Every structure is written in structure tokens, then in C-alpha cells.
Amino acid sequence: MLVYAKLVGSVFFWGATWISGRVLAQDMGPFSAALLRFVTASIFLFLWSWHAGHGFPRLPRKEILPVAFLGLTGIFLYNAFFFTGLQTVPAGRAALIIASVPVVIGVMSALFLGDKLTTAKILGTLLSLSGAAIVLSGGNPLVLFHGGLSRGDLMILGCVGAWTAYSLAGSRVMRRLDPLLTVTWSCLLGTLMLIGPALTHGLTADIARAGLVDWANILFLGVIATGVAFTWYYAGIKAIGPARAGIFINLVPVFAITMGYVILDEPVTSSLLSGGAMVISGVYLANRPATATKP
């Protein structure tokens, strides 16, 4: 029961992440925001690991490359896309696009990990992607063929790809390593990857003009939404698998849309609600447990 509570808690914090990230993205460049978030997260995670009795968290040499891949996908790429997209895309809309992640994970698991691709998964995938098209197009998918996608939308779709790779690779790494160790080192390695781009994209100027609200968002994103939520999510992956843990991501847009409406006064349109319902329904259909047939 505790693992499910942690999964709900992690996606609640991730729902709030879209609000916090949207605010921060208006004041700071994407690489600066990502670097400061994960410097904070890495410090927190190393202290947490030390306090938990692990001492200095040592990473086995043979696991350096697999964990570095997690840092590349889940930290560097995801957050570069995340903060760039949120410069122009409303938080609730972005979170709904991300809600298609469990479907993508299910399809990729079938293609690369040998999971069975059932009729329900195929139908759920089509339903979810159709819902995402409605959200992206504002209710008229044909618009996508004429005007295409905005740069911000493409960045959020990049988040989908990065998080899918992170989850699938993480499920394998988690068979060998402790969740806290995995998250700690993936954050650290991803942070090191962010230093160069941040320095060349205005890090010093961003720090100089950052206000109290910006630093509060950085602390929330680093300590709560990363340090705590990532560890809880990975514990869920280890306990019930990536596909079932991924289902909980359905709650992220619910939390994000609600908080976006209340805190940021973002509009809740009919296309957002109908498309979002299709996305979440498709994810449920694609990932629901198969029922046993009677002999």
C-alpha cells in the first residue's frame, strides 16, 4: 500500500512541477533553470543517502554508462525540453501531452522488451494519440496538417521521448541498483552534462536577476519534485514494473490542470477536457491488467 501512496505523491509533485516550471521559465533560460534545479537535487540526494546510512553513495564501475544514459535522457534532455517548452506552452496543456507517456512506454516495451502487444493496447494507443492530437490542435486535428506544431509543442513531445527512454532503461538498471543510488547518480551525471550549455546560455546573468520566487521554485523543483518524487517513482518501478507505475502519470495532468487554473488562471477549454479524457482513457485501456479467460 505504501508504494502506491508514494506513486500518487510523486505524480502530485510532478503536477505541481508544471506550474513551478512555467513560472520559472518566464524568468530564466532553460539550461540555467535545469542546472540550478539539479545542483540542488544532487546535493539533497547525496545528503539524504549519507543520512540514510549508506555513507558516500558509490556507483559500481560497470554501471557508470547505464546510469549516465539515465542522466542524459531523464535529466539533461528531459529538462532542456521541459523548460524550453514551458516558455510558451501552458502548464496544463503540456502536462496533458506528457500523459501519453505510459502508452509510448507500453509500445516501446512491446518492441524492445518483449512485452505482448494486445488488441487493447493497440486500441488504447490509437485513442490516446487521437486525444493528444485534439489537445495539440485545439479541437481540430486537421490544423496539424496545415500549420504543424509550434516549437513549444515539439519541445514537450521531446519530453515524451526522453522520459520513455529514461523509464525503460531505468527499469533494467533498477534490477541491479538501489533506487536512491540510481537517482542520486543519474542526477549528478545529468547535472554535469548541463554545466556547459548553461554557462554558454546566460547562467551568470540568470542568477544575478533571479528573485525570491525563482529561488523558491528552484528549491521545490530540486528537493521535492526531484529528490523525493524521483526516488518514490523509482521505488514504484522496482515494485510493480514500468508499465503499471507509468499508469500513475495519468494523475499528473489532473493535478497540473487544476493547479494551472487556480494558480496561473489558465483557461480550461472543451478541447483540453475532451482530448485529455481520450488520452487518459486510452492509457487506461492500453495498460489495464488482462482478465483471465475461463476454460
- DSSP output for 206-246: HHHH--HHHHHHHHIIIIIIIIIHHHHHHHHHHHH-HHHHH
- What distance in Å separates the CA atoms of residue 77 and residue 194, rounded to the nearest whole number? 9
- Burial track 17-49 (b if 16+ CB lie within 10 A, e otherwise): bbbbbbbbbeebbbbbbbbbbbbbbbbbbbebb
Q: What percent of the chain has pLDDT over 90?
A: 39
Q: Residue 294: what pLDDT?
A: 33
Cell of 277: 479524457
Q: Residue 291: what pLDDT?
A: 45
When the pLDDT of each residue in the chain is averaged and rounded to a whole number, the result is 85
Q: What percent of the chain has pLDDT over 70?
A: 92
Statement: residue 222 has pLDDT above 60? yes
Least confident of 80-84, 211-215, 268-272: 268-272
Q: Residue 144: what pLDDT?
A: 64
Name all contacts of 57-60 with Cβ < 8 Å and 24+ positions apart: 57/180, 57/181, 57/184, 57/185, 59/181, 59/185, 60/177
Which tops the pLDDT comparison, 136 or 89? Answer: 89
Q: What is the pLDDT of residues 26-71, one digit of tens each?
A: 999 999 999 999 999 999 888 887 877 667 778 888 999 999 999 9
What pLDDT band is residue 290 in, cutting at 50, 70 and 90? low
Q: Residue 293: what pLDDT?
A: 35
Q: Residue 72: what pLDDT?
A: 97
Statement: residue 208 has pLDDT above 90? yes
Statement: residue 189 has pLDDT above 90? yes
Q: What is the mean pLDDT of residues 143-148?
A: 63
What pLDDT band is residue 278 in, cutting at 50, 70 and 90? confident
